[in-house]
């Protein structure tokens, strides 16, 4: 983490996010951390997640409720329409798509996000 001065709570939030593969919401992070950190507020979690995202240390993902990802390398995601879970997909990032967008639009393309949606394996088993 670069930029702002060190904060124990920011470090705690960042480490918890890095340890998770769930792409949690701020509310989820708060619920995970609150039992062992009684002085932690939901506002502190939101502020620190947004600060980390602004610094580029994490990625802010615009779903109906913002989620966060400590993996800042470009990669695609899958969101389950049934349970709302978000998963990383082990597919390569296609830089050729950025070049195609540039050629077709003339815009300076700096990257793209890919989000697949459908029913996850766990929900398929239940239905």
Residue 93 CB-density burial (10 A; 0-12 exposed, 13-18 middle, 19+ buried): middle
Q: What is the pLDDT of residue 4?
A: 63
Give yes or no: residues 47 and 93 share one domain. Answer: no
92 is a domain residue: yes
Ligand-binding site membership of 77 (annotated) = no
53 is a domain residue: yes
Give yes or no: residues 18 and 62 share one domain. Answer: yes
109 is a domain residue: yes
Ligand-binding site membership of 80 (annotated) = yes
Q: Two tokens at 5?
A: 């001065």
Question: What tens digit of pLDDT does each residue of 38-87 get?
Answer: 999 999 999 999 999 999 999 988 777 888 999 999 999 999 989 989 99
Entry pTM: 0.65
Decide which of 6 and 33 is more confident. Answer: 33
Q: Are 95 and 58 in contact (CB under 8 A)?
A: no
48 is a domain residue: yes
Ligand-binding site membership of 21 (annotated) = no
Ligand-binding site membership of 127 (annotated) = no
Residue 5 per-residue DSSP state: P
Ligand-binding site membership of 110 (annotated) = no
pLDDT band at 126 (very low <50, low <70, confident <90, very high): confident
Q: Which domain holds residue 83?
A: 77-126
């Amino acid at each position: 983490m670069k930029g702002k001065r060190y904060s124990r709570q920011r470090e705690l939030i960042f480490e918890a996010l890095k340890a998770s593969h769930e792409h949690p919401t701020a509310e989820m992070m708060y619920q995970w951390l609150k039992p062992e950190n009684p002085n932690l507020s939901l506002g502190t979690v939101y502020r620190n997640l947004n600060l980390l995202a602004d610094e580029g240390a994490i990625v802010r993902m615009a779903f109906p409720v913002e989620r966060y990802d400590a993996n800042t390398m470009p990669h695609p995601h899958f969101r389950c329409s049934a349970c709302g879970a978000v998963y990383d997909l082990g597919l390569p990032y296609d830089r050729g798509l950025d070049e195609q967008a540039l050629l077709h639009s003339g815009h300076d393309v700096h990257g793209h996000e890919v989000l697949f949606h459908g029913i996850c394996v766990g929900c398929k088993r239940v239905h």
